[in-house]
Structure 1
Amino acid sequence: MSKVQSIAQIATEKAHQLGIKKFDIYGSAVDQTSVQVFQGEPKQVKASQKSSVIVRVWNEKQQIGVTSTTDVDEVGIELALKTALEASYFGVTDHVPDFSTEAKSPLPVVKSSWGKPFPASDLIDKLLKLEQDLLNSHEAITSVPYNGLAQQEVDRFYLNSDGALREEARSIASVYLYTTTEQENRKPRSGGSYKVANTLETLDIDGCFQETVEKTLSHLDYQPIPSGKYRVVFSPEAFLSLLGAFSNLYNAQNILDKQSLSTPDSLGKQIASSLLSLSDNALHEGNIGAETFDGEGTPTRNLPIIEKGILVNFLHSSVTAKRMNAQPTGHASIGAKVSISPNYYHVFRGEQPTQEYSLENADNVILIDDVQALHAGVNSLQGSFSLPFDGWLVNKGEKVSIEAATVAGDFLELLKSIIFVEDTPEITPSGICPRIWIDSLSVTGQS
């Protein structure tokens, strides 16, 4: 009998003793080792084992109570069930969460590698060498203030009193490097890279190193640019950051709460250029942390969101799906309330373009590599953004780093102003996406 089956058996017995007929439990456990270094010495070494279990109980009036615990032995489960039952009598009576209609549907099969954990001393040695190699790579690179190498094992499960039982486990390794420069009479410049993999052996540490050096050095010979309207090309990371910042556009809970740029009637309407298609695909092979079920036990899937510019689906939990006469989509997290969040974006070309664009022959085009200050520069309810960025002014393939600038606009107008979606995608930790060309955006520079 597996540990999850044992938990299910204990929970069923204790629920019967307490007179509880309906309950569910979601839990996760993370065993993680992470290290950071600074100036040739270990800066932080952290090893942790974290577990979190959410217990929900429905009373005879179908009100729901929720509690959390870290104990999954008999005493802990019994106390959690009892506490949740007591809390249920103070629960809401409108739009009460229920079991997902797909909590017992077959799960997708996902291939993933399982890596053996390395001792923290090995991680420190690898990171110390990376720091020294970065400092030796160019005389202008004088510091690696932010870095990290981590490995973790994740176990998740979901079960309910209706017989649903899910469990999965995976391992993840990650590396992060960020360098800064010092040059006489020049402002400090920086660059970084982040890579993830299932195992430390398959982690692209060399790629992270090379990308960090290249990005840092590409910003050394910076120049100011005048303010004005520019044709803008977003890197995959930058465009995915904007998609995440405005996810209320297709989040059903935000829509029902009237905290969205969309309404329930937005489905089927053109919200973007027909060149753009977008799906949320937790099962994409590029998604290292792929999960096969969400917090309600609903299987994850490849969900089309925008097809050739038309909004075709919202992200749903069981609660929003019931209210909007839809199906849950595998994007729910349970807690004091049920929340919804995207899994893994997949941006790709919709209709074929009538005109091709290339940085090799473009004039006066801004390539945005990374947008910053999303927490302060985005008004997700109005659709507006004003964000500082790292990037280059490109002329006939030649890139000159921009000293400092801010890009501003309206997100819905940006989607409709897409003039080209490149056909070469790039896999990133948050999604897969090619470079996206925008006809015109306001850029404020330092001239």
Structure 2
Amino acid sequence: MQTTATESELLQASLAGGKEAFGSIVERYQSLICAITYSATGDFAASRRIARQTFIRAWSSLAQLKDPDNFRPWLCRIARNLVSKSMRKRRFDVIHDPESVKPPESDAGQVAISEERQVLVWQALQKIPEQYREPVVFFYQRQPSAAPVAADLDLSEQALMQRVSEARSLLKTEVAAFVQDVLAKTAPGEPFTQAVLTALTKPSHPDQGPSPDRSRKARPEPGRSRRRASAGAEESALTSQTQDRTSIEYQPLPVPAKMSQRAVYGAFAGGIFGGVAWLLPTSFMAKDWPAAAIVLIIAGLICLVSTTWCLRDQTKRWRILGWVMIALCALNLAVINLRWNRWMQAYQEGPSHNAPTNLSRWTMNLIIAAIMAALLLIFLTLDSRQRKQTAEPPQAPYD
């Protein structure tokens, strides 16, 4: 209760324009927000930028918060909305980062994480399901106490440690230690808090002095002046782009829209079994049970291999679908060339035979090959387009 009351008092002071009180709130939740943004973007610089914008947006919108007890979920919702907006753009601009300008030696590790190490960490974390990734990032950055981490994530300590243990089991021991070390070094600290507060203190129009007419007007409400200063801070943070690339540079990692495990299984199973569905009734009509069984077994193996591959690396899903099309084409052509004559004989002897519908084996080969080739071309085109987008260098940080 004491913690809740203290946070409520800080929110009231922040609503009245108290930046020191808001700084305490930033210090309290910066690890949580940075964990949320990094778990979604996979880039330290981009996640810090979005996290700063989250607190700036919260500062300007505090008057909209009806219940102080809902501040944490409200703040997390702002962060997730900003992440979604940035992910839709598929491009992160490098902006001026007050945190990266002349950092103290104690915080140098946060800035000096090389791009290669960032890529290695994110490649390892991508192997962890989303429900485990965010808790493990937050836990590693907020060590050694698990209690506040569990409370902020609305989990019990037992559930938190179980998720951390599951995440570590998906990584090799040396990889898990490497990820833990890097995440601990990149935990937000005092420079992050000061960067947010520095942004809040920036006037919206620093070049304009006070107007005599304005000085005679009544002093605006604290909430209105705070919102006005925050709007100027956001505008200033977005427009004051750095010309020093050595502070923090990055290239956006390929982070396509993630599919849930259920969606991956559904999409691949539907496409694969749909691609061989016409073979089953035809083989049943001819009472060719071995052919039907072989088709089902091979289709199941294709589905198992492709879904496992996709869940490990969803950035290659269009390429995986291309290989699936090649496998399905080979399966269809093999069955047609080996069993078509027997099937047509059974069909012609059956009561539903219609002479004009007879198709030769070579005609079926051409039809299947044409359909599969068209689908393969589509998937390869989508894969090439995605690779070009994710490999495109970020926009130069100069006007």
- TM-score scaled to structure 2, two decimals? 0.22
Structure with greater proportional strand content: 1
Q: Which has the higher contact order (CA 8 A, sep 6+)?
A: 2
- TM-score scaled to structure 1, two decimals? 0.21
